[in-house]
Amino acid sequence: MTGPLRVVVADDQALVRTGFRMILAADGIDVVAEVASGLEAIDAVRRTRPDVVLMDIRMPELDGLEATRHILGAREAPVTGAPRILILTTFDLDRFVYAALSAGASGFLLKDVTPEHLVAAVRMVRGGDALLAPAITRRLVARYAHRDPEHAALHRDLAVLTARELEVLSLLAQGLSNAELAAHLHLSAATVKTHVARIFAKLGLRDRVQAVIAAYETGLVSPGPGT
């Protein structure tokens, strides 16, 4: 992936926007727009075509959740063309964060994130990775996921997956990396990467966060004790 990394910062607090812009700019990341509402975020994405959006949840006019749904909606941008969205929050277990992740956000950051973590997170999701610890994902799913069979069937149809792909998805949902999947299944890294890519394509998933949510919501795996 070439070219400068382009970011939109959406937060209704001017100090937060300024602080994030200064941190990112110091690391050579181009903040192409700073906005204070969800409506402004949608417009900024349309105008500037950023790689990543830092999206606050609670904003006037239109909140970050609805803005995320709009930006990542099929009518507005195909999965391959939409920016990656990182949710900004002061709460690490918030039902709105879960809803945003279900809508396609690639992870979330607490607003007291360190400068180093902020920069690393933006670069990570721009590269196609998801940013969310498996343990936090499991806790979010356990608290907020719809577990009724009707919803699960509508959410994702796992029948399209092969037995091996179901196995890979189950292990992926437990937080295993591709390297760990390869070791556990005695497969090559390239084969695991192919399986993961096929799972994403068949289920219409953007990244590992959505894969984890799909695995839990469909009942393929269940949150264990202590999550």
Q: Do residue 160 and residue 100 come from a single domain?
A: no
Q: Specify the CATH number for the domain of residue 153.
A: 3.40.50.2300
Residue 227 lies in a domain: no
Give per-residue pLDDT as tens, 173-182: 877 878 889 9
Q: Do residue 164 and residue 194 come from a single domain?
A: yes
**Distance between CA atoms of 112 and 32, rounded to whole angstroms?**
22
Q: Is 227 exposed, middle or buried (0-12, 13-18, 19+ CB in 10 A)?
A: middle
**Distance between CA atoms of 6 and 121, rounded to whole angstroms?**
14
Q: Do residue 152 and residue 110 come from a single domain?
A: no
Residue 50 or 151, more confident:
50
Residue 4 or 165, more confident:
165
E runs forming strands in the chain: 6-10, 30-35, 52-56, 84-89, 107-110
Residue 41 lies in a domain: yes
Q: Name the residue range of residue 157's domain.
A: 140-217
Q: Do residue 11 and residue 89 come from a single domain?
A: yes
Domain end call among 104, 131, 158 = 131
Averaged confidence pLDDT in the chain:
82
Average the pLDDT over 87-98 and give the result. Answer: 73
Give per-residue pLDDT as tens, 99-146: 777 778 888 888 888 899 899 889 988 877 666 655 666 667 666 665
- Structurally, the chain folds into a number of domains equal to 2
- Between the CA of residue 7 and those of 15, 45, 126, 161, what are the distances in Å? 17, 9, 10, 35
**What phi and psi values does residue 38 have, to the nearest 5 degrees?**
-65, -40
Beta bridge partners of 52: 7, 84
